[in-house]
Amino acid sequence: MLKVYEATCTAPINIAVIKYWGKRDTKLNLPTNSSLSVTLSQDDLHTKTTCRAAPELKADKLWLNGKEEIIAQNKRLTNVINEMRAQRKKLEENDNSLPKIADYKLHICSANNFPTAAGLASSAAGFACLTFSLATLYQLKLDNVELSTIARTGSGSACRSLQGGYVAWEMGEKEDGSDSHAIQVASREHWPDMQAIILVVNDAKKKTSSTLGMQHTVATSPLIQHRIKHVVPKAMEDMKTAIQNKDFDSFAEITMRDSNSFHAVCADTFPPIYYMNDISRAVVNAVHDYNAAKAAMGSAQKYTVAYTFDAGPNAVLYVQKKDADNVLGVISRIFPAAEDKNIYSGFNFNDQEIDEVLAKMNTPIYPQMNAFKRIIATKVGDGPRVLANE
Ligand code: DP6
């Protein structure tokens, strides 16, 4: 019987603290600025992909969360699959002992372990996982930095999900994109205390996709030129230093400022793009009030918690482990849960410590019950994993 070749891998999501927004090449997803993200734990959120190559398969096929995607109609998928197959072909041409599997058709099955409806960016984990599992199947001798340039052609932010910990996507200069890749700034172990709380905002409104949104911004916003030239380069350097030094105050301030800068260029786009909503803005105010209250209570830190928002209303809070329970506890009071559907059940809060901080804050209670659909508490994590390879 002819052999079936198969690999199954998982890949993490990442949330940028310095945002990618703008392309200088829309086919290769080459960005107009470098960006930096934190990879989140795959124990909580991941994409899992199985790739199979076998002689009896008649056509390349791909299923995403159980639904078939027509590969030929999806340029992002063909970019990645064609390149990975070309890489395998090159290997086979140079080594006659290798089985000729590049010519076999592929069946690919990919699923997220979190609901797509949660509004979380799943394309980063998805394209990182597709690239990594094909590299595993084809036994390519490319490292994760080289693989990141291929994942990038599927979705820009995907290149950062090939590494764990703290990851910089260096924009590069070359036209072919070969130097536009993701590099690890620091591993998870370097600063393992970093936690993320994702507040999934209840919002059914349709948003402008990142791909289209950033193209409108580049075409119409004068402010983005300032961001690209004068804001991001310094923020990248300062953020790398903050991470090296495990300096949460600097990490938090750069993160919040960059989120604000990104949403400012969205507002400067013409017509403007608004991703944040009233709930998002209430979270921003609550975080600033919380930080001020803790500082007034004698905390050695200027900032205890930082927010960041991607192309949607969901808030991602970065916080160190020691502060995570209190931050979420205070959030649970400002954004109360409905009695019949408590989104905070499962967390253990210290009411007295929460009361102490709340007494120093003047933040109004948000009027809508369950302003959040879901709360995901997670932490910094590692890069993609191989689960099976035969
Ligand atoms: C706001 O990577 O989704 O999340 O390259 O067109 O697929 P494409 O865009 P995408 O954009 C992500 C934008 C962001 C910021 C970030 O993750 O850096």
257-308 confidence digits (pLDDT tens): 999 999 999 999 999 999 999 999 999 999 999 999 999 999 999 999 999 9
| Residue pair 153/76 in contact by the 8 Å Cβ criterion | yes
Q: By alpha-carbon position, which residue is closest to atom 4 of ligand 1? A: 310
Return the H-helix or E-strand segment holding 239.
helix 232-244
The closest-lying atom of ligand 1 relative to the alpha carbon of residue 310 is 1
Are residue 281 and residue 134 in the same domain, yes or no? no
- In-domain check, residue 119: yes
Q: How far is the CA of 339 from the centre of ligand 1 (A)?
A: 36
Find out whether the beta carbon of 156 lies less than 6 Å from any atom of ligand 1: yes
Whether residue 278 is contained in a domain is answered as yes
User: How confident is the model over 84-104, as a mean pLDDT?
Assistant: 96
Q: Which atom of ligand 1 is nearest to the CA of 35?
A: 18
Closest CA to 243 of 255, 256, 259: 255
Q: What is the pLDDT of residues 109-143, one digit of tens each?
A: 999 998 765 567 679 999 999 999 999 999 999 99
Q: For residue 325, is pLDDT > 90?
A: yes
Rounded CA-CA distance 85/257 in Å is 41
| 308 C-alpha to ligand 1 centroid (Å) | 14
pLDDT (tens digit per residue) in 96-107:
999 999 999 999
Q: Ligand 1 pocket test: which of 25, 122, 157, 162 has the largest number of ligand atoms within 8 Å of its C-beta?
A: 157
Ligand 1 in reach of 155 Cβ (< 6 A): yes
Peptide bond into 271 cis (omega under 30): yes
- Please indicate whether residue 120, judged by its CB atom, sits closer than 6 Å to ligand 1: no
Residue 358 C-alpha to ligand 1 middle, in angstroms? 35
Question: Is the CB of residue 28 less than 8 Å from the CB of residue 153?
Answer: yes
Q: Is residue 46's pLDDT more than 70?
A: yes
Question: What pLDDT, on a 0 to 100 scale, did the predictor assign at position 206?
Answer: 64
Give the number of the atom of ligand 1 that is nearest the alpha carbon of residue 124: 2
> Is the same domain home to 241 and 226?
yes
Please tell me whether the overall predicted TM-score, pTM, comes out greater than 0.90 for this model.
yes
State the total domains in the chain.
2
99, 211: one domain: no
- Segment 70-78 mean pLDDT: 96
Query: What integer pLDDT is reported at residue 359 of this predicted model?
Result: 97
The answer as to whether 388 is a domain residue is no
Q: Residue 258: name the closest of 37, 24, 13 by CA.
A: 37
What angle do the packed helices 232-244 and 248-268 form, to 10 degrees? 160
Q: Which ligand 1 atom sits nearest the alpha carbon of residue 76? A: 7
Average pLDDT, the chain: 96
CB of residue 276 inside a 6 A radius of ligand 1: no
371 and 261 share one domain: yes
Q: 72 vs 76, 79, 80, 138, CA distance in Å?
A: 10, 10, 12, 21
| Cα torsion through 182, 8, 40, 204, rounded to 10 | 100
Q: How far is the CA of 271 from the centre of ligand 1 (A)?
A: 20
Pocket flag, ligand 1, residue 161 (CB < 6 Å) = no
Helices H / strands E in the chain, number of each: 10, 16
- For 353-365, what is each residue's pLDDT tens digit? 999 999 999 999 9
Q: What percent of the chain has pLDDT over 90?
A: 93
Ligand 1 neighbourhood includes 312 CB (under 6 angstroms): no
Asked if pLDDT for residue 1 goes beyond 70, the answer is no
- Please report, for the domain that includes residue 140, its CATH number: 3.30.230.10
Q: What's the confidence (pLDDT) of residue 205?
A: 67
Q: Are 37 and 308 in contact (CB under 8 A)?
A: no
Does 305 share its domain with 375?
A: yes
Looking at the fold, whether 371 and 227 belong to one and the same domain comes out as yes
Tell me the best of 13, 18, 20, 266 to mutate to test the pocket of ligand 1, counting ligand atoms within 8 Å of each CB and taking the most: 20
Residues 6 or more apart whose Cβ sits within 8 Å of residue 305: 252, 287, 290, 291, 317, 318, 319, 323, 327
Both 31 and 138 in one domain: the answer is yes
Q: Is residue 389 part of a domain?
A: no
pLDDT one-digit tens code per residue, 164-192? 999 999 999 999 999 999 999 999 999 99
pLDDT attached to residue 121: 65
Spell out the residues 6+ positions from residue 18 whose beta carbon is closer than 8 angstroms to its own.
Answer: 34, 35, 36, 37, 232, 235, 236, 239, 254, 255, 258
State how far Cα 105 lies from the chain centre.
30
pLDDT more than 70, % of the chain: 98
230 in the same domain as 141 = no
Domain that holds residue 163: 5-187
pLDDT in tens, 202-218: 877 667 889 999 999 99
Q: Ligand 1: distance of its center to the CA of 46 in Å?
A: 17
State if residue 131 touches ligand 1 by the CB under 6 angstroms criterion: no
Structure tokens belonging to residue 191? 């600063």
Average pLDDT over residues 12-40: 98
Dihedral sign from CA coordinates of 244, 249, 253, 255:
positive
Atom of ligand 1 nearest to the CA of 262: 1
Domain boundary among 169, 187, 205: 187
| Rounded-to-integer distance, Cα 307 and Cα 316, Å | 6
